[in-house]
Structures are given as structure tokens and as C-alpha cells.
Amino acid sequence: MPTTLAITNQKGGVGKTTTAISVSAALAQQGQRVLLVDLDPQANATSGLGLRDATVPTSVYEMLMEDGDVNEAMLDTDVDGLRLLPSTIDLAGAEVELVSAFTREQRLRSKLAHVPDDVDIILIDCPPSLGLLTINAMVAADAVIVPIQCEYYALEGLEALRRNIELVRSHLNPSLEILGFVLTMLDARTRLSQQVVDEVRLHFGDKVFEASVPRSVRLAEAPGFGQPITAFDPTSRGAVAYQALAREMLGRLPVTDPQ
């Protein structure tokens, strides 16, 4: 069974999707066979890997709500070893439709149970909310990764996220853990960024990854070219940071070497 990780933070603009794309690509380049699940109706992870609605025959929406086959929905990407379960705007309706659905919190987990054995790691890019899509991701996941932007109010909302993780653990997924917190958009030149780093490390200790992600123009440009930063500019500070983060993640996971 692959290890499943949900990348989540209900705050928008914290680098969640950039982290999902970049870490997925970095893990694949380090020899892992990776499936990225785009669970965000904005579909930014899908477009960030060069795919658009018109090129998506079966999306996560059909898989969740119309009994679609996960194996038919998976698409190859330009990164060797990285596949994608794409999203479209149709997924926006799933939050409402799931409310009355049978086993509504278990839909994603039951579908991902049919992911083929040649996948080592599944990463789920969650929407910026604590709704039923994010709950589905947490129920399906072994652990959660939380990106935190190095700006004012960095810790705002994290208590609500922690409570939700505890509720999911208590009622739906007792094995769910927090793998770690990722510091993103770090500007080492500013005192504010360092204050945020210190505050986050004080709160969460060794749950904070040592690897942090710098604020970078190249990181911002990469999605427009439909490429992860590790392919768009592999020697950039952002690419180096995500490669380091991927190695650190692997060190925290019970991941076996690829066959």
C-alpha cells in the first residue's frame, strides 16, 4: 500500500499547491513513484502540471461522485514517475453533493484503495477550506503536511486545523498524524520572517521541517509554463529547497525503496 499524505491549510496563498506540485516532482526525481491527487476545485495543481480542463477525460469529480475508475482517471505527466488525478471546476459542486452522500467522508479513501501497487506515495492537494473535501483527504491519509507562510498571522487558523485533525483521528481515521509543518515564502532578509520562523518552531518543535522554501520569482513563474520548479529551473533556490524537503519527508516515512 502506498503512503498517503494530505497537504492542507485552510488559509489560501500559503504555498500549498506549489508545495504539492514541487514535492511530488522532487520525490519522483528521487526515485519514488508518485500520484498527485488534485482535490481543489480551482485545479491549480492540474494546470501547474500542464493540463487543462479540455485535456481531462475523467477527473476527481467523476471518481468521487459518479463511480469513476481511479485507474482510468490517472494521467501521466512530463515528470518521469509522477502521475496525476486531475481536477476540474466540476469539483466545486462536490462539497454540496457530499452532504447527503452515503459514507460521505470515506469516498476518497475507498477510491484510493484501488490505486495500483506501482505507486509508492500519494500526495493530496486539498482546497483552502475545512469542508468535506478536506475531511475526505484526512480520512484517506496516513499523515498531514501543513505549509505555513512566513508572514503576519502565520499561526492564525492552525488551531482550528489541529482540532479538525483531532476529530478525524477520534472518529474516522485513528492513525492520522501530522508529518510536519513547512515554512514557505521565507525572506531571510527581513526580521519578520525570522520572527515567524522562531514562533512556529517554538510552537511545533521538531514537527517543523528543517528545509524551508524561500520567496522566489522563479517559483511563481513555473506554473505558467505548466512545469514544477524542479523541471522549470532545477538549480534555482526554490527547486533546491523542495528537493531538500522531499529528502527530509522520506526520512520521516516508512517508505520502501522502489523495486
Per run of 10 residues, the mean pLDDT along the chain (length 259 residues) is 93 91 97 97 94 77 87 92 93 86 88 93 94 94 94 82 91 95 90 88 93 92 93 95 97 61
Looking at the structure, give the CATH architecture of the domain made up of residues 3-251: 3-Layer(aba) Sandwich (3.40)
pLDDT for 189: 83
Answer yes or no: are the C-beta atoms of 50 and 44 closer than 8 Å. no
Residue type, 227: Q
pLDDT for 41: 93
Residue type, 140: A
- Nearby residues of 209 by Cβ (< 8 Å), 6 or more positions away: 180, 181, 182, 183, 245, 248, 249
Output the pTM of the full model. Answer: 0.93
pLDDT for 258: 38
